Amino acid sequence: MAYNEKVLDHYENPRNVGSFDKSDDNVGTGMVGAPACGDVMKLQIKVGDDGVISDAKFKTFGCGSAIASSSLVTEWIKGKSLDDALTIKNKDIAEELALPPVKIHCSVLAEDAIKQAITDYKKKQ
């Protein structure tokens, strides 16, 4: 099972690893997956007054594809409005990273993480 180059790139040079203060009102946190399944993804967004995602960070416990999926979406959602961020589908992620069928669930997790982070942010407002 050879990894796609884009997966390897994100895995070896992950973008936006880290955390924001989750009690900050401008921060939305999404945490999806479960350790027993081998994947846990934490995605955080920082939203500006204009409703645009100004920054994003992630931490992921999971395989290379899970790490790559989360790294990729942090890049994608930065600069997007919340509504635009919600249009990102797991299929887009899987296609961009050329994920094999056994790794599709990684892209599903990433999509879920975006949704959860946005929901969390909205709750705080």
Partner 1 sequence: MKLPIYMDNQATTPVDPRVLELMLPWFTEKFGNPASSSHSFGWEADTAVKKARKQVADLIGADPKEIVFTSGATESDNIAIIGSANFHKDRGNHIITLVSEHKAVLDSCRHLESEGFDVTYLPVQTNGIVDLDVLAAAFTDKTILVTVMAANNEIGVIQPLTEIGALCKERKVYFHTDAAQGVGKCPIDVNAMNIDLLSISGHKFYAPKGVGALYVRRRPRVRVKPVMFGGGHERGIRSGTLPTPLLVGLGAACEIAQQDMESDNKRVFALRERMRHGIMEQLTHVELNGDLEQRLAGNLNISFNYVEGESLMMAIKDVAVSSGSACTSASLEPSYVLRALGVNEEMAHTSIRFGLGRFSTEEEVDFVVKTIVKAVNNLREMSPLWEMAQEGVNLDEIEWAAH
| Catalytic-role residue among 12, 17, 24, 37 | 37
Q: What number of CA atoms fall less than 13 Å from residue 3's CA on the CB side?
A: 16
CA-CA-CA-CA torsion sign (71, 76, 80, 83): negative
Are the CB atoms for 74 and 57 separated by under 8 Å? yes
Q: What is the DSSP letter of 62?
A: S
Q: How far is the CB of 77 from partner 1 (least distance, A)?
A: 18
Are the CB atoms for 52 and 81 separated by under 8 Å? yes
Q: Note if 106 is an active site residue.
A: yes
User: Where does this chain bind partner 1 (CB under 8 A)?
Assistant: 1, 3, 11, 14, 17, 19, 31-42, 59-64, 66-67, 102, 105, 109
Q: How far is the CB of 1 from partner 1 (least distance, A)?
A: 6
Residue number with CB closer to partner 1 (52 or 61): 61
Q: Note if 63 is an active site residue.
A: no
Q: Which residues are catalytic?
A: 37, 106
